[in-house]
Structure formats: C-alpha cells, structure tokens
Amino acid sequence: MSVHEILSSEVIKRHGNPDWYRLESERGSVALLTEQAQMRALRLYMRYLNKESRDRIEAMLAAKVQRGVRSDAGERLARQRDVAGKAANP
C-alpha cells in the first residue's frame, strides 16, 4: 500500500463511515483515548507531509530564481566586458 492509500483509508474509516461514530461512542475510555491519539498522530503526519511538500516547492523556486539570476548576471557581465574593452581600445 502506498502512503496515499493508507492515509485515504484512515480518513475514510472515520469520515466516510456513518457507523464509525456510533461504534466509537460505545467503546470504553481507553479505546477512545487511543483513537484520539491516533487522530492526532494522523493530523501531525499530514502537517509533516504538507511541510515537506512546501519545502520542495520552495527549493524548486529558489533553483529557478538562481538560474535566472545567473543568466541575467552573465549577460550584464558580458556587456560590461564589452564596454571595458571598447574603453581600453579607443
């Protein structure tokens, strides 16, 4: 099973099953606390995956900006060299 399938299964187990709430309400306190801990863990894991995704996007954007800066800086440096060369050889 992929991570996506596991997460989908966990979400559907809770929110896609109307009987889940009834079954949970019939369980004991320890079982409910365990379920609460599992739900918190799932929420934290989803936040972690979201942060990783944002970090990857940020890294890709930074690389794209860097390529643009290098290209622009290269063009400007070439123009400066050309002007300096013309000034040195009037």
Model confidence pLDDT, tens digit, residues 21-77: 788 888 888 988 988 898 899 889 889 999 999 999 999 999 999 988 888 888 888
Instruction: Check: pTM over 0.75? Answer yes or no.
Output: no
Domain that holds residue 48: 3-88
pLDDT recorded at residue 38: 87
Structural domain total, the chain: 1
Res. 90: pLDDT tops 70? no
The pLDDT of residue 64: 94
* CA contacts within 13 A on the Cβ side of 56: 6
